[in-house]
């Protein structure tokens, strides 16, 4: 049973376009929502994270939007670049519980 549902499974975007990856959760106790980026052959690395007291967090071209009432959060990549091609994982946790990861989205940005 996946506690964090991620979509789409794969995404193809043209260079300069906006990439949007969505995640939904059921457990309202979750209070920390990170996004990890993974390049082929590498381990995941933290990209950006948000806590539910804010609705949006932006770091450069990457933005997390958080909708607490809908229990959804999403990653937006503005001006997508071929170097952004990677697999992206959303995750969620609370208190001292295990981090729960989404199934991942493979993003391909075409030049």
Shortest CB 101 distance to another protein, Å: 4
Task: Provide the strand spans (E) within the chain.
Answer: 4-7, 10-14, 19-25, 33-38, 45-50, 56-59, 62-67, 72-77, 86-92, 100-101, 105-110
- Using CB under 8 A as the criterion, which residues of the chain lie in contact with another protein when the complex forms? 2, 6, 9, 32, 34, 36, 41-46, 49, 89, 91, 93-99, 101-104
Closest CB to another protein among 36 and 63?
A: 36
Lookup result for tokens 């959303």: 90
Closest CB to another protein among 47 and 109?
A: 47
Closest CB to another protein among 40 and 111?
A: 40
Shortest CB 96 distance to another protein, Å: 5
DSSP strand pairing (10-14 vs 105-110): parallel
Shortest CB 15 distance to another protein, Å: 27
Note the Cα 83 to chain centre separation in Å. 17
């Amino acid at each position: 049973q996946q506690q964090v549902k991620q979509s789409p499974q794969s995404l193809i975007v043209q260079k300069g376009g906006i990439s949007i990856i969505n995640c939904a959760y059921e457990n309202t106790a979750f209070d920390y929502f990170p996004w990890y980026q993974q390049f082929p052959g590498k381990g995941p690395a933290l990209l950006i994270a948000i806590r539910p007291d804010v609705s949006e967090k932006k770091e450069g071209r990457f933005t997390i939007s958080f909708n607490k009432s809908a229990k959804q959060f999403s990653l937006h990549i503005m001006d997508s670049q071929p170097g952004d091609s990677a697999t992206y994982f959303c995750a969620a946790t609370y208190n001292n519980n295990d981090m729960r990861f989404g199934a991942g989205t493979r993003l391909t940005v075409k030049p």
